[in-house]
């Protein structure tokens, strides 16, 4: 029976959160019998640079090869037999080569498949024009001009090319760079016929895509209460069941591990976003502040309340460029005062090699960093006293000349016989590699023409111009700051017992989503988690301002910390260059909780005992 779009439920499985995700996702989702579509997200900024380098060496490469050799080899026969359609951004910087490789696999397996390719995201041909423009390009966060040695430049396309490819009957759609959520939104626009100005539904579909774009992060992965998540080894990959009105339910394959609850999804909703009322995407400006989450049963949560406005007139472009070389080396230090010994070792190596560089007529390092992993160095002044008897020295440096870092690499191993007792675990000589850095800027949509290649034809995809306002200025939450204890007796607890949290990155910014464990705890948090106090707690990491946004629908705050990641991503010398640990550091911050509300906090048991309470 053919159902109308208003009657259908479309089921989409998210099989990959990045290039390198587990191979079990696609087979698990296909075997479940619970999906109509299978979507994959493979692309990060560094991935694009890796793919560009691969294409330079071999014109047949430049895409996420695992999509073809691992994922599709495992499921292609089944998805064709079951009528499951596939959308993936595995094309990277060479989507046509990816499609050719998939076609070869299909012929080998004896299956017929119609493959569509989305192109139009490559901005490299425009770089010379952008350099000569009257209004030169400026980086979004730093404002610096376009660098000289650009390696890649790709615009984040939206969902319309995906929709167009599916409208043409494609079984598999392969894109280059697009926003992560577009692989899901394109499916829903195709299935339900949503128009480009149906902004509320487009926002809802984008939220569905945002929730599943990171794979198991929607099913218990990275969850604050990790000890409550069952069966990590067999964790289920996420499924969204979507309806015409934009509401959807998140679940996972029956019988798999993991956990789907409102708290898990609340963490993922806030992951890697800025202003929750103005989440900018190519197809829609999303407002997630009114989103609500309701448990329908075990591992089933319904999501509703997303709202949308017209998108901006620009694409975000992510460029990468080469800026010298980078090297990271490690040593393990065992015994009493391991952290102090590790720091002194790192300082001695840098002092010695700096003198050797000078003697050879080489300039000094452009940047250096010493970290003591295992000694809570990332906590700065909040590290627990008492030291540790095992630490890993991580020494990182950058330099314009590769030879300078090769010299540094040679001078790490001598520490094993020269200085601190208990030095071990060098793991071989480190090697220098090009320092690839990210550069983000905005480009008017009219400068690019997305296309779909299918059945030997090329289809131009019309993209609405969008609004001319550009990126909205950040808006801090205007909710009042409540009095924390209201004059009542209170006790001091670490924030982790009062809230859940997750953090991520956008360039050099880190966002930290904090969700109250109970609605009654929200006023307590509002009064104490001020931007000023959060900035003070993270002052050893965050150099710029901290802005707080309130997300009342999920009882949460989103803190956007600027200049928080040592330059961010590929530029950062930190071990945690992507801000994955920022929420954990903030969750150790002490807060005062009225005694009358103690029944609402997480009990002291198991893994959270060591959080400093």
pLDDT at residue 470, as a whole number: 44
Strand, coil or helix: 359: helix
Q: Is 175 left (phi over 0), alpha (psi -120 to 50) or beta?
A: beta
Question: What is the average pLDDT across 67-80?
Answer: 98
The C-alpha atoms of residue 43 and residue 249 are separated, in whole angstroms, by 26
pLDDT in tens, 207-251: 999 999 999 999 999 999 999 999 999 999 999 999 999 999 999
Using alpha carbons, select from 98, 217, 209, 125 the residue that is nearest to residue 163: 209
Q: How far apart are CA 184 and CA 41, in angstroms?
A: 10
Using pLDDT thresholds of 50, 70 and 90, give the confidence band for residue 488.
low
**C-beta of residue 209 within 8 angstroms of C-beta of residue 178:** no
Neighbouring C-beta atoms of residue 562, cutoff 10 Å: 19
Q: Are strands 367-373 and 390-399 parallel, antiparallel or unpaired?
A: antiparallel
The more confidently predicted of residues 135 and 294 is 294
| Three-state secondary structure call for residue 367 | strand
Mapping DSSP to helix (H, G, I), strand (E, B) and coil, where does residue 465 land? coil
Q: What pLDDT sits at residue 487?
A: 53
- Residue % of the chain over a pLDDT of 90: 85
322, 434 Cβ separation under 8 angstroms: yes
Residue 293: burial class (beta carbons within 10 Å; 0-12, 13-18, 19+): buried
The pTM assigned to this predicted structure is 0.94
Please report the pLDDT score of residue 211 as a whole number: 98
Considering only 172-181, 302-311, 318-327, 338-347, which range has the smallest mean pLDDT? 318-327
Taken in order of first residue, the domains within the chain and their CATH numbers are 9-121+156-311 (no CATH), 318-437 (3.30.70), 490-610 (no CATH)
Residues sharing a CB contact under 8 Å with residue 571, sequence separation 6 or more, in sequence order: 323, 435, 437, 438, 508
**In whole angstroms, what is the distance from residue 557 CA to residue 368 CA?**
34
Task: Give the residue among 272, 292, 164 at the shortest CA–CA distance from 210.
Answer: 272
Q: How many CB atoms lie within 10 A of CB 240?
A: 27
pLDDT tens string 316-368? 999 989 899 999 999 999 999 999 999 999 999 999 999 999 999 999 999 99
| Count of CB atoms situated within 10 Å of the CB of 4 | 9
Q: In the predicted model, is pLDDT for residue 477 greater than 70?
A: no
């Amino acid at each position: 029976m053919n159902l109308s779009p208003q009657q259908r439920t479309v089921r989409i499985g998210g099989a990959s959160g990045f290039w390198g995700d587990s191979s079990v996702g696609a087979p698990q989702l296909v075997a479940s019998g619970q999906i109509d579509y299978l979507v994959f997200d493979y692309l990060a900024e560094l991935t694009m640079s890796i793919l560009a380098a691969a294409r330079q060496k071999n014109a047949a490469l430049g895409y996420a090869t695992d999509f073809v050799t691992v994922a599709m080899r495992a499921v292609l026969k089944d998805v064709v037999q079951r009528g499951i359609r596939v959308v993936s951004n595995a094309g990277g910087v060479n989507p046509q080569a990816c499609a050719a490789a998939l076609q070869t696999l299909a012929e080998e397996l004896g299956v017929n498949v119609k493959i569509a390719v989305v192109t139009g995201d490559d901005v490299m041909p425009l770089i010379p024009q952008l350099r000569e423009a009257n209004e030169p390009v400026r980086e979004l966060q730093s404002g610096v001009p376009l660098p000289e040695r650009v390696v890649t430049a790709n615009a984040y396309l939206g969902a319309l090319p995906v929709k167009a490819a599916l409208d043409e009957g494609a079984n598999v759609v392969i894109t280059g760079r697009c926003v992560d959520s577009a692989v899901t939104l394109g499916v829903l626009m195709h299935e339900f016929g949503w128009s480009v100005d149906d902004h509320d539904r487009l926002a809802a579909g984008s939220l569905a895509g945002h929730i599943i774009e990171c794979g198991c992060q929607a099913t218990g992965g990275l969850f604050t209460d990790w000890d409550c998540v069952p069966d990590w080894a067999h964790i289920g990959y996420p499924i969204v069941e979507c309806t015409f009105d934009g509401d959807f339910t998140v679940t996972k394959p029956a019988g798999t591990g993991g956990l789907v609850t409102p708290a898990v999804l609340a963490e993922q909703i806030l992951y890697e976003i800025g202003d929750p009322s103005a989440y900018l995407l190519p197809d829609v400006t999303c407002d997630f502040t009114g989103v609500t989450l309701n448990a329908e049963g075990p591992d089933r949560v319904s999501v509703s309340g997303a709202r949308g406005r017209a998108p901006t007139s620009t694409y975000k472009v992510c460029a990468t460029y080469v800026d010298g070389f980078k090297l990271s080396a490690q040593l393990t230090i065992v015994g009493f005062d391991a952290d102090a010994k590790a720091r002194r070792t790192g300082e001695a190596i840098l002092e010695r090699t700096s003198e050797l560089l000078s003697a050879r007529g080489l300039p000094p390092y452009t940047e250096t960093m010493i970290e003591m992993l295992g000694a809570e160095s990332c906590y700065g002044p909040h590290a627990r006293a008492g030291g540790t008897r095992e630490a890993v020295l991580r020494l990182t440096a950058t330099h314009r000349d590769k030879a300078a870092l090769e010299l540094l690499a040679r001078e790490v191993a001598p520490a094993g016989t020269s200085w601190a007792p208990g030095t071990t675990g060098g793991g071989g000589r480190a090697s220098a590699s090009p320092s690839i850095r990210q550069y983000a800027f905005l480009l008017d949509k009219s400068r690019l023409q997305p296309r779909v290649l299918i059945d030997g034809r090329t289809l131009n995809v019309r993209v609405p111009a969008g609004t001319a306002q550009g990126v909205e200025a950040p808006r801090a939450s205007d909710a009042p700051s409540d009095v924390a204890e209201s004059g009542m007796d209170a006790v001091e607890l670490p924030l982790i017992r009062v809230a859940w949290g997750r953090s991520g990155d956008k360039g050099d910014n880190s966002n930290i989503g904090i969700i109250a464990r109970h609605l009654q705890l929200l006023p307590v948090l509002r009064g104490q988690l001020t931007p000023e106090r959060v900035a003070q707690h993270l002052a050893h990491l965050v150099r710029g301002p901290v802005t707080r946004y309130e997300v009342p629908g999920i009882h949460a705050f989103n803190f956007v910390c600027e200049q928080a990641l040592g330059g961010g991503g590929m530029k950062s010398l930190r071990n945690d260059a992507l801000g994955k640990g920022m929420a954990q550091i903030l969750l150790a911050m002490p807060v005062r909780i009225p005694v009358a509300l103690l029944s609402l906090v997480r009990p002291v048991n198991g893994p959270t005992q060591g959080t400093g309470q």
